[in-house]
Amino acid sequence: MDTSDTFIDCLLRQLPFDAGSEEFLRDPYRFYERVRRTSGPVHRTPSGHVVVLGYFEAQAVLGDPRYGHGAQTPQERTGYGVPARTFLLTDPPGHTRQRERVRRAFTAREVLSLRRRIGHLAAGLVAQAARSGTADVVADVARPLSARVVADLIGVPEDLRDRFTQAAALLVRGLDPPDLIPPETHERIARARVLLARDITVALRRPDTGGLLRVLAEGADDRSARAEAVATCAQLVAAGYETTVGLIGNGLHALLRHPDQLAYLAATGYAEQAVAAAVEELLRFDPPIQLAPRTALVDADIAGTPVPRGTVVSVLLGAANRDPRVFPEPHRLRLDRRPRHLAFGLGGHYCLGAALARLEATAALRHLLARRPRPAGRPVCHSPARVARGIQSLYVRLDRDVRP
């Protein structure tokens, strides 16, 4: 099964909208809503694939062991046609064993130990960006912050960090259906994957390597284990880096379009607790990952819809997070909510870096908001990626001094 066959059938050829259009890129949610109104929370495509748009139905699939990736080892392909390469796209028991090893780098203690550094980095980047009065939030704050934090956590040696971060954005672009990626970008993604794998292999053998790389190196005692360690680290670099960049960019963009909600935060003095709570609503409103693919591992069902074994199931997280059965006024940003969103998934594949992404977004937004960001009059440029939703550039005017 080819990756493009699965995703294009589900998202392009079969659904009554064009996921490759500029209109979809700017606002996919009105397209999701149109399908929900005609098909309900579960949509079966003419080819037999299933697309999940409802919150309860998405929750059920993500938490149900009858649905998985369809690969038992990293050497296999998933049921939806993607090479597994790492434990991230495999099913238990292999997934559980490797996830526990990697989880050591993402414990609450480890993440909280980075809290002060994250705050210091965010403050410095925002202050530097504000010196000229106008800044690109993505290029000047979100990307360098995320790159430095993920490099610290993974244990990337200083001399390899620039190449790591350059490759990350390209690797996450590779999550998209191949038909949506220009040929020249395919070539750049392939080169980035090779270079990143080479750098990780070098880092695994170095005595000064720390963090997650050190954890992975401890178990990389044969060729296949080393190959999996390299692939796992590369995928975590891409996922951890680009998800946080998307969260910060999408979040500030949403706030700028809702001045009443900016005023709501201003009334709190941008207190850390208030901004952290706002991040949860921002994750619901415009999540950085839009789709979670699964395969039915046995004959199953979703809310009464039969799902035969082997059926590809595409869970649209962005649609589930705007289900009106769960979220009143779902298309309205309301920072007074305490939403139980699905932006980071659910169950055994819940995002390992969720706590870290929350800390980074909270720190970045607090320092940006304290300098009274205003639109700079330039068009907002969205990333061409569809699975990972983000903004390529977001120019704002910032006060040079922190607002009292």
Name 19's Cβ contacts closer than 8 Å, sequence gap at least 6: 11, 12, 28, 31, 180, 386
Distance in angstroms (rounded) separating the CA atoms of residues 395 and 393: 6
β-bridge mates for residue 396, sequence order: 135, 375
In angstroms, the CA 342 to CA 344 distance is: 5
pLDDT in tens, 57-94: 999 999 999 999 999 888 888 888 888 877 888 999 88
Per-residue pLDDT of the chain (404 residues; tens, 9 = 90+): 334 444 444 445 566 677 778 888 899 999 999 999 999 999 998 888 899 999 999 999 999 999 999 998 888 888 888 888 778 889 998 888 778 777 776 776 777 778 899 999 999 999 999 999 999 999 999 999 998 888 887 777 777 777 777 776 676 666 565 666 778 888 888 888 787 777 777 777 777 666 777 776 665 566 766 677 777 777 777 677 888 999 999 999 999 999 999 999 999 999 999 999 999 999 999 999 999 999 999 999 999 999 999 999 999 999 999 999 999 999 999 999 999 999 999 988 888 889 889 999 999 999 999 999 999 999 998 988 778 899 999 999 999 988 65
User: What's the start-to-end Cα distance of the chain, in Å?
Assistant: 58
Q: What is the dihedral of CA 82, 86, 88, 94, to 10 degrees?
A: 110
CATH of the domain spanning 3-397: 1.10.630.10
Q: Where in the chain are the domains?
A: 3-397
